[in-house]
Amino acid sequence: MSYANDMPPKSPAVLIKDAELASELRVSVMRLSRRLRTERLDEGLTPTQLAVLGTLDRGGSMTLGELAAVEKVQPPSMTRTTAALEERGLVIRVAHPTDGRQVLVSLSREGRALLLEDRKRREAWLARRFELLTNDERALLHAVAPVLERLAQA
């Protein structure tokens, strides 16, 4: 038996509450995301390009296939994305040390600087918004952040 089969069925009232929560959370997260995007540096980067820079910053050098898997895009799309980033000097491609058919993509110094400045700007905006919250509300957000991350990774 799977875990899902072991769980008692949800009552219709619980399902309605889950649907309401899903709707409220979707709207709130989308609004916050949209607002944070307006705080991005205007460097002409697409959201996908910025996400790739972030992935390389967190995960280090990766092959195009690994990057595509993490970003949930097809390898040809990742090839185009990294080519555009390389053209701007934001990433560097180097030969794979053990597989001559592959390359590793790394964040360049310029790419890291741009990414850090972008993060700094958006986090500063968010920190200013936190000043409007009570201590209890900030503590609640602190507790919820890992749950949101888990939802995003599913």
Which H, E and C letters describe the chain, residue by residue? CCHHHHCCCCCHHHHHHHHHHHHHHHHHHHHHHHHHHHCCCCCCCCHHHHHHHHHHHHHCCEEHHHHHHHHCCCHHHHHHHHHHHHHCCCEEEEECCCCCCCEEEEECHHHHHHHHHHHHHHHHHHHHHHCCCCHHHHHHHHHHHHHHHHHHHC
Model pTM score: 0.74
The tens digit of pLDDT for each residue in 115-150 reads: 999 999 999 999 999 999 999 999 999 999 999 999
- pLDDT confidence of residue 17: 86
- List the domain boundaries for the chain: 40-153
What average pLDDT does the segment 25-35 reach?
Answer: 93
The mean pLDDT value of the chain amounts to 90
Domain over 40-153 is classified CATH 3.30.70.100: no
The tens digit of pLDDT for each residue in 102-119 reads: 999 999 999 999 999 999
The tens digit of pLDDT for each residue in 69-86 reads: 999 999 999 999 999 999
